[in-house]
Amino acid sequence: MASTAAGMRVEGLDELVRSLRRLDRKLGKGITDSLRVLARDVADTAKGVAVFQGFAEPGRSGRGTGAMLSSIKYGVRAGSAYVRVAAQRDGYPYPRVYEYGGGGERSFVHPALGLEEEHIFRTLEQTVDALLRGELLT
């Protein structure tokens, strides 16, 4: 399935997640849980940015508009968080036009990632500190 995704690379995160999992599966789960929450935060921000830019909220018109916003998905796979927009019209992944076309003037996933960047780094740092101190292990 074609999709539009934005990414942020945290140098050393993949290695850290693998190392923590080798030490204790609960450590890896703690990082994964934190990444999932952060991905949800970015997805929620992306929806807000899209609505601010004039994209219809899901289910408001009855003409099929809003499908793009409802197709904003997030998750964690192999120690990496993702946010993607998977909407298609007649097999064409039209959200790519908004993210990458026209200089990205109507993009919403990339700006959301930028808005959440400081929060992401701060939360990851706090999560790693808490895991290493044993505070998040249950």
DSSP string, the chain: ---EEE----TTHHHHHHHHHHH-HHHHHHHHHHHHHHHHHHHHHHHHHHHHTTPPPTTSSSSSTTHHHHTEEEEEETTEEEEEE---BTTB-THHHHHHGGGGTT--HHHHHHHHHHHHHHHHHHHHHHHHHTTT--
- With bands split at pLDDT 50, 70 and 90, how would you rate the model's confidence at 89? confident
Q: Is residue 30 part of a domain?
A: yes
Q: Is residue 138 part of a domain?
A: no
* pLDDT attached to residue 103: 66
Domain extent for 66: 4-133
Q: How many domains does the chain have?
A: 1
Q: Is residue 11 part of a domain?
A: yes
Top pLDDT among 91 and 9 is at 91
